Structure 1
Amino acid sequence: MKGGVDKIRESLAGLATLAGRVAAEQAEEIAAIAERYETTLRGGGTLFFAGNGGSAADAQHLATEYVVRYQTTRPAMRAVALTTDTSLLTACANDMGFEEVFARQVEALAEPGDLLILHSTSGESPNVIRAAQSAKARGVGVVALLGRTGGQLKHFADIVLIVPATDTARIQELHLAIEHVICDLVEDRLKG
């Protein structure tokens, strides 16, 4: 079991180091994202979240934090995960291609004043890139939380935050931690 304990310590220490680096180097970007969420919500806009795999689960998690509550009971905030409607996702993937599953929803639901938040560990997934392009074409703002070097998606976002790591799990863990910090800031500012 000694090896297991060492691996636990190494993994958590690595995560803490990465979190510290992001806090030191990108606190301004995180604050700018929080301000953008706040501005969107104050203006009556909707936060739309999307991503693939674990990032899709994070999209659902985060939309729930805004609609229901994070730390404080307060009025509901407008947030939608574009990852939850299996009938829509599978119909669109089958009929139009998987790269359109989020873009089509952006076309149908988003309007100027809304904000699309995309999580991608690579920034290269065609469906998140197409979603960003669709949002930009509609005058909808785009925030991207990315990993590695940011990939192509970084070129289609108004605000970009890149977790400087290559391990998918570490990137997703930091994305969720960062989003919780943002949610805490937004909830505190808008609670009434």
Structure 2
Amino acid sequence: MDLIARVTQHFEDSAQTKLDAAHALAAPLAAAIEILTNALLIGGRILACGNGGSAADAQHFAAELVGRFEAERQELAAIALSTDSSILTAVGNDYGFEQIFSRQVRALGQAGDVLLAISTSGNSANIIAAIHAAHEQGMQVIALTGKGGGEINEILNDKDLHLCVPAERTARIQETHLVIIHCLCDGIDALLLGDE
């Protein structure tokens, strides 16, 4: 086995996936940045959720907004719904894993807020339930998916945005989701602080 060639192929595949995504998603990403920034400017919050690596991405995104991305600025209202182990285990135990995010969306979300819903397959039952809850609350949804978007592609409404990475492999989708998250953070900062 040629491990050097195998490693090199990962880098090449990752770079190509990101280039493909740049061409497909630049315009919807710009629209997503405007939605998120406008929500923050009117006092709204961004609720982010995902499972596994996508949970880490949701936490990463919230940390960049509450802390800072690359420039010093005021704190921005973002909450990762995957971080409170007491809520997750209580809701999971009492109501089922499918409701761990939707109950938080109903408790914390309101019109003017945005749900950032992350699922590489687009078929995560608890993310789908969270999207339904967001719609019930009058929230907009920005969905980050791959693999064609799965069921999430079918339930988004015309006010929502779907950022679907044009890839089938989970690792490539997750790598590209991280770039998307950094684009969102950079764009929010650029709109709030000016492009310097």
TM range (shorter): over 0.9
Q: Distance in 1 between matches of 2:120 and 2:16?
A: 18
Matched length: 191
**What corresponds to 1:108 in structure 2?**
107
- Structure 1 unpaired stretches of 5+: none
Q: Which moved more, 1:74-83 or 1:158-167?
A: 158-167
Contact preservation (8 Å) 1:142, 1:156? no
How far does residue 84 in structure 1 lie from its aligned partner after superposition? 0.1
**What corresponds to 1:153 in structure 2?**
152
Q: Which moved more, 1:128-137 or 1:180-189?
A: 180-189
**What corresponds to 2:44 in structure 1?**
45
Q: Distance in 2 between matches of 1:174 and 1:135?
A: 25
CA RMSD, aligned part only?
Answer: 1.1
Q: Distance in 1 between matches of 2:161 and 2:23?
A: 18
Aligned residue for 2:86, secondary structure, equals: helix
**What corresponds to 1:23 in structure 2?**
22
**What corresponds to 2:188 in structure 1?**
186
**What corresponds to 1:69 in structure 2?**
68
How far does residue 6 in structure 1 lie from its aligned partner after superposition? 0.9
Instruction: Give the AA of the match of 2:114.
Output: L
Q: Distance in 1 between matches of 2:3 and 2:143?
A: 35
Q: Distance in 1 between matches of 2:155 and 2:133?
A: 10
Pairing 1:12–2:11 present: yes
- Structure 2 unpaired stretches of 5+: none
Q: Distance in 1 between matches of 2:94 and 2:161?
A: 32
Aligned residue for 1:149, secondary structure, equals: helix
Partner deviation per Cα, 1:113-137 (whole Å, 9 max, x = no partner): 0000011011111100000000001
Instruction: Give the AA of the match of 2:100.
Output: V
**What corresponds to 2:56 in structure 1?**
57
Partner deviation per Cα, 1:8-44 (whole Å, 9 max, x = no partner): 2111111111111111122101111111111111111
Instruction: Give the AA of the match of 1:7.
Output: R
Partner deviation per Cα, 1:63-91 (whole Å, 9 max, x = no partner): 00000000001000000000000000000
* TM-score in terms of structure 1 length: 0.96
* TM-score in terms of structure 2 length: 0.94
Match of 2:178 among 176, 182, 191: 176
How far does residue 191 in structure 1 lie from its aligned partner after superposition? 2.9
Aligned residue for 2:145, secondary structure, equals: strand
